[in-house]
Structure 1
């Protein structure tokens, strides 16, 4: 095969795997390149390498050869320069890029670069991120959730000969879920890698704000600067949910106030409202389910404090 035939073949080869693009070869006299491909009807993962080349997807190609899907791009060696939406990002190993073919771009690939590129259906990304636009930012895959995503992507490639199609799709599904959390910035709480630390902060916040009747999982997540999903994951790690923990802390608050002389002047209804409950009946129902007595019985005797403490524990 002549050098010209090799470059023509490469252009057709990459187009068949990806989408219509332009190819600029600084050198055509001795071009070398190669790919390793894994694919199912849903996902595709390609490792590719080549001599220096520039890929260009123009506005005309976007219009006449539409492709709405995303590509997760991760250099394994060398450097890959991506230009899209008037931004330029230099990708090194352990830095990913979520690229859309629905917007023009340029990619500069030198001879030292080895790259993984995963094709992801647009609906798998847009639905989770509530958007349909490129994410023009580098993704740090060195720590926390980013490292998990990077390890999963490279692991998929390394285990290509042992995974079934179903297993490949199952891992890809989970990878995309985590990728979208990362792209949305939802990995911030887990960046230290300790869900227990996140859980501790969330529990402390709920305990300190239990009396707020408007507190929900969403509002506390917003107050802490995290996503609701991350709060849910942290509490799931501890065996509970935001809703359950808020209710538990409010019940504990009422129990403590029923015992405290400083709150003797307050009626049960007043205590209910002051402790975040919507009504005295809502408090009474939840309180009896939790402690086995109603608030009034607790105030006027009820089970011994030691029995109540053991019940809490």
Structure 2
């Protein structure tokens, strides 16, 4: 049972007057995404719909609207800095994204990874229907060991890209059946696959067998992350490969055996901190049960990865799950 924060909400401009539609849309975009200039083609008749899924870590928004242009200027970035990323993928219509002197034209079957930390222009036609997945900067910068892969385009019509598209669709379709832990786990895997796609774009010369080795190593580490004896050497023995093979495969995606093991252990701890069934475990017990040598080692790595301590994340999760007073709705009437 999940104890994390997760909710779904829908916004439709058709539920307010035509004069209020653009104001409602601008307000939601500022809250859901970041501060931008919105340029409506037909403000008096603008119509749009947003379906938002949100946890403490990720957000997926399905949006459909009339023609509009979104602009993030250097001035807005100074006013409201935001280093995070957005994965944009249309299901219908066309999106034009301009960032870092690049232009990407996105149609169904394609997607793009962009950062909110640099100026951009995003415009689309009147038949737009698509998704925007919000991804914390640490989830991209840390695995890829670099900053801002600006306007990185992906082919979502075949292979790994098609799997990513299917996962995003399913994450939306099953939105009312998910918990915070399930939503985050699926989003984690989508981001992991996006990082693999990004590395594939940057390194077309990576041998196919190394791609296979990397995928199997990730699965093995995920299944054995809690084993305190897990190392690069131990996984090499278990999988029947040389340690050098594993190091080369992970180097292609900007990580190491040690870094991958630490990443999976931290995710395991995060999920357990948000799980009501693990409420009885102390931070020290969680550390040992997740493969860490001590609570202090866990706390140091956890703060570096997530920006807060394990105890602070648990406290935040508990606060998010405290039910509102029974008469709260009556007081707001």
- 2:78 aligned residue: 63
Deviations along 1:252-291, one digit per CA (max 9) or x if unpaired, are xxxxxxxxxxxxxxxxxxxxxxxxxxxxxxxxxxxxxxxx
Alpha-carbon distance in structure 2 between the residues aligned to 1:116 and 1:143:
18
Aligned with 1:175 (options 187, 190, 195): 190
Aligned with 1:115 (options 104, 126, 130): 130
Aligned with 1:35 (options 50, 53, 62): 50
- 1:233 aligned residue: 215
1:232–1:185 Cα change, 3 Å = closer
- Choose 1 or 2 for highest CA Rg: 1
Aligned with 2:163 (options 139, 144, 148): 148
Alpha-carbon distance in structure 2 between the residues aligned to 1:163 and 1:31:
32
Higher relative contact order, structure no. (Cα contacts within 8 Å, ≥ 6 residues apart): 2
Kindly report structure 1 stretches of 4+ aligned residues shifted beyond 2 Å.
1-4, 134-137, 186-189, 224-237, 239-242
- 1:74 aligned residue: 89
Structure 1 position 14 matched with structure 2 position 29: yes
Deviation at 1:228, TM superposition (A): 5.1
Structure-to-structure mapping, 1:252-271, within 5 angstroms = none
Deviation at 1:19, TM superposition (A): 0.3
Alpha-carbon distance in structure 1 between the residues aligned to 2:137 and 2:114:
11
SS of the residue aligned with 1:16?
Answer: helix
Alpha-carbon distance in structure 2 between the residues aligned to 1:129 and 1:135:
13
Alpha-carbon distance in structure 2 between the residues aligned to 1:56 and 1:168:
30
Alpha-carbon distance in structure 2 between the residues aligned to 1:162 and 1:33:
25
Deviation at 1:234, TM superposition (A): 5.7
Structure 1 position 97 matched with structure 2 position 79: no
Which structure 2 segments of 5+ residues have no match?
Answer: 1-15, 221-237, 246-333
Alpha-carbon distance in structure 1 between the residues aligned to 2:209 and 2:146:
16
TM-score normalized with structure 1 length: 0.63
- 1:185 aligned residue: 200
TM-score normalized with structure 2 length: 0.59
Deviation at 1:41, TM superposition (A): 0.6
**Which has the higher mean CA deviation after the structures are superposed, 164-173 or 131-140?**
131-140
SS of the residue aligned with 2:31?
Answer: helix
Equivalenced residues, count = 213
Deviation at 1:244, TM superposition (A): 6.8
